[in-house]
Amino acid sequence: MSAVSRFYSGPGGLVAAVTAALDAAGLDRRSLRAADLAPLDEFHIRGRAASLEIARELAITKDSHVLDLGSGLGGPARTLAELIGCRVTGIDLTAEFCALATVLSTWTGLADRVQFHVGDATSTGLPDFSVDAVMTVHVAMNIADKPALYAEAFRVLRPGGRFVVYDVLQGEGGDLHYPVPWAADSSTSFLATTAEMRELLSAAGFRIVSETDSSDESLEWFQMVRAGIERDGPPPVTFATFLGQSFGAMAANQVSNLAERRIRTVMFTCSRS
């Protein structure tokens, strides 16, 4: 198991832990919607709001096949399948994430439209030109070989298709405060700057259609989430389920990193000619 997979796998038993938490909260697993699971499986800054933006930027239809590179627990994939009706294939390095993503898709009635496989986002094994769109959400921070990641996205994408990247980037404020939700320290954290991203995506063959920096909105989102927890208490199941006791420190560092401009959140929409 890689260092990245070990970081995300946590203490084990994710399916059992999530099942117990949902049952304790009185939520009927037979009638869940994708939005009900957002506090758990929208494992990225700005949560479901960002997933909805990605859905718009991908410019897909119900007949589209989308590849999610680094799919995690499958929140963005299920959002696309639920709202648009498309088919989504997720690839993730962490086996326990794929197992839970599959269970959550069954509970939400989306198992016929989303599938998750353990694999390497830089080498999926999929045929050339095999998907209509590709997305990657808060993934490249853990990948040192970014040229390989973006080359793979380009390879599998059909001409005319879109590639949407929503990631945490290195800001101008200096080195990060650790731990953060994707790394305990700098040994598995590989942030690119906005300028480097432009070069990487262009070098892979993509045309950059748009670039949106949402860092200010991200800081506001964290403040809103904190206010909600102080007012209503925490949701029945959250990222802490798999990040463990360090999650509080990770969340606090995220806010500090954003406020001090050590990180940026940026979305790139790209097209393959």
Percent share of the chain, pLDDT over 70: 92
How far from chain centre, in Å, is Cα 175?
22
Quote the pLDDT of residue 41. 80
pLDDT tens per residue across span 13-72: 788 888 887 887 788 887 888 888 877 788 799 999 999 999 999 999 999 999 999 999
Query: Strand 114-118 to strand 87-92: parallel, antiparallel, or no bridges (unpaired)?
Result: parallel
Confidence check: pLDDT of 246 > 70: yes
**Residue 131: φ, ψ to 5°:** -130, 155
pLDDT tens per residue across span 104-120: 999 999 999 999 999 99
Question: Please, what CATH class does the domain formed by 3-271 belong to?
Answer: alpha beta
Structural tokens at position 89? 């294939």
CB 119 within 8 A of CB 51: no
The mean pLDDT value for 81-87 works out to: 96
Other C-beta atoms lying within 10 Å of the C-beta of residue 50:
23
Q: Which residue has the tokens 């970081």?
A: 7
